[in-house]
Amino acid sequence: MTSTLQPDRYPKRRPPEDSRQLHAERTGRVPSGAFSPRQLWASLPDALRKLNPRHQVGNPVMFVVWVGAVLVTVLTAVAPSTFSIAVAVWLWFTVLFANLAEAVAEGRGKAQAEHLRKMKQETTARRLRPDGGEQRVPGVDLRIGDRVVVEAGELIPGDGEITEGIATVDESAITGESAPVIRESGGDFSSVTGGTTVLSDRIVVEITAKPGESFVDRMIRLVEGAQRQKTPNEIALTILLSTLTIIFLLAVVALQPMAGYSGSLQSVIVLTALLVCLIPTTIGALLSAIGIAGMDRLVQRNVLAKSGRAVEAAGDVDTLLLDKTGTITYGNRQATELIPLVDSGVQSLAVTARLSSLADETPEGRSIVALCAEKYGLTAETTPSEQAGEFVPFTAQTRMSGIDLDGRQVRKGAASAVATWVAEHGGSVPDAVGEIVDQIAQDGGTPLVCAELTDGRARVHGVIRLSDVVKPLMAERFAALRAMGIRTVMITGDNPLTARAIAGEAGVDDYLAEAKPEDKMDLIRREQEGGRLVAMTGDGTNDAPALAQADVGVTMNSGTTAAKEAGNMVDLDSDPTKLIEVVEIGKQLLITRGALTTFSIANDLAKYFAILPAMFVAIYPQLDALNVMRLATPTSAILAAVIFNALIIVGLIPLALRGVRYRPASASALLRRNLLIYGLGGIITPFLGIWVIDLLIRLVPGIG
């Protein structure tokens, strides 16, 4: 069956910024880098609901702050003072701001989920009966194994596999991409998603998902965060933060006996303020938002991660396995050069090459006609006189194409096939042709020999070089990955000579030639045995075992159901190069978490200089030397530290949602940059912030 439209299987890729903006306009989603104060206000009700202790207990650091806020509030109610009221208010603000960070991150996901819910439409399906007849039923009544008919203009009622036919499908409701795609039975492009629209032809779809468990339903639950689980690194960091909190709690408790021995007992309110300022509240407040935002950044790029674990693993990937065709190269070999023999001019070869390709409807044949038109001034259209000739189409049996016109026979094809044809017509192939053919093959190209039969004698004009063109900037992207310590491996079914040439041009570290499914599995296992994490892409049923074995398996949405079930991420755009972006997003997630952890711990240093001298300067006047900020009074110093501790959470929410800007670099370079910017910045910022807040507090009667 022939489709009325002929779109590419893979949508045209725009520059990342344009693509994200266009996608946001079409889907109503908020770009991951965007942030506005309006989001804070809209998320405030959710933040207030999260003050429930049952929610707070899930975050040990902020639960301690919550308990401290309750304790100070009770003490303030018993013996109110301006200082105690201010401390109580700002402790509650600290808890509220932490909830706000999480609520804003979740709110972005809920906005996306709301769009997806609007996209879902109740459909009536044309279910096939066993006798071949049709029965109209509501889409919600479909069950796994049901077969439905969908024709042009109709919505696909559920997720499934095409078992009959071929059609163009509009997937813009899910992907935001307007270019329709081809879906067909019997291949790696047979999977369809419920809610998308068939634009042409007729297909029969076998349903593969239960009602409520479709791809869109799973997307809704994931982007809302309902199925988000903490990742191993996040759990480990939570344990570390909890341990630090316990250590500081014991240290603060131990201060009171020492203070009593010195004759200056501290109030519970002051000790609570000290504890809240010393524990890592900043990263404790933002940790959940960082994880949710990482998932959100993937969704904004049309990648659906089945778990946060997959996103985190992407950031730790050591080896990337990439298919050559469609990922590193465009996939269709294109004519890039005409190489004439010494006694045959290049213009004569161009005329012959064009004539021999007029009947060749393969992408390679069309590229030869295009090259002759663009570079040698020949027409790309078939002239009336040429239409009178007898076209010889390219077939897998003859491996040649051409035309018989005005007593001339022109042929183009594989070297061995053309050599046989020339010999049958009394000609011979010069040795130079063999040398050119061998050189092109060694360079990773495909040689096509061009010959002509005139006056009963056949002769060769030259050779056409077909090249599997490497996509632009791939070498730069692989160099960036190498700088991060990631090893790239190209997988191809080509022979080793061609594979080596393409690998050298693309700049990958290694290649696997003549690869079979079991070879991919063996390669992944060898890499993993060395302690490395492996990521790969795939879309076919034969890729499923390797996708399941890989630590990060990115499946194309256009692929088979088996492949999508095996992988732990699904790329809605079906763009194999997206794997590189996925790794960068994973790296950004880990870098953001590390940077804000560094900033949070470094913050404590300034708070020591603010609170500890204020608490004990009356007993030990020598501590006044540590009051480098020259804070006005002990109460203003303590309150300034508490206020800064709350405000810095709000100030860092945009960074937690947007993520720290990622630049490819080695682990040591990233560590140095992290310490310089967020370590040093985490020390300097509180000094300035607490000093400014103290100046303002001095103006408040009863405190300053």
Annotated binding residues for ATP: 360, 364, 394-401, 412
Please enumerate, by residue number, every residue annotated as part of a binding site: 360, 364, 394-401, 412, 539, 543
Please enumerate, by residue number, every residue annotated as part of a binding site for Mg(2+): 539, 543
Which of 449, 484, 471 shows the shortest CA–CA distance to 591? 484
Amino acid at 118: K
The overall longest dimension of the chain from CA atoms, in Å, is: 119
Q: How many residues are there in the chain?
A: 704
Distance CA 325, CA 105 (A): 37
**Residue in the block written with tokens 């499946």:** 555
Which of 583, 585, 550 shows the shortest CA–CA distance to 568? 550
CA 363-564-29 angle, to 5 degrees, is 90
- Catalytic-residue membership of 316: no
Q: Which of 296, 323, 494, 604 is catalytic?
A: 323
Contact 168, 203 (CB under 8 A): no
Strand ranges of the sheet holding 400-405, from the earlier edge strand across to the other edge: 334-340, 457-467, 446-454, 408-413, 400-405, 390-392
Please list the residues that pair with 134 across neighbouring strands: 128
Contact 275, 68 (CB under 8 A): yes
Which of 609, 582, 595, 699 shows the shortest CA–CA distance to 655? 595
Q: CA 47: distance to chain centroid?
A: 29
Question: DSSP strand E in 145-221: where?
Answer: 147-151, 160-164, 166-170, 181-184, 191-192, 197-198, 202-207
Distance CA 442, CA 497 (A): 6
Q: Which residues contact 310 (CB under 8 A, 6 or more apart)?
A: 552, 568, 569
Contact 242, 61 (CB under 8 A): yes
SS3 call for 533: coil
- Torsion angles phi and psi, residue 351, rounded to 5: -60, -45
CA dihedral (299, 300, 302, 305) in degrees, to 10, reads: -20
Region label for 177, one of left (φ > 0), alpha (ψ between -120 and 50) or beta (otherwise):
beta
Give the catalytic positions in this structure. 323
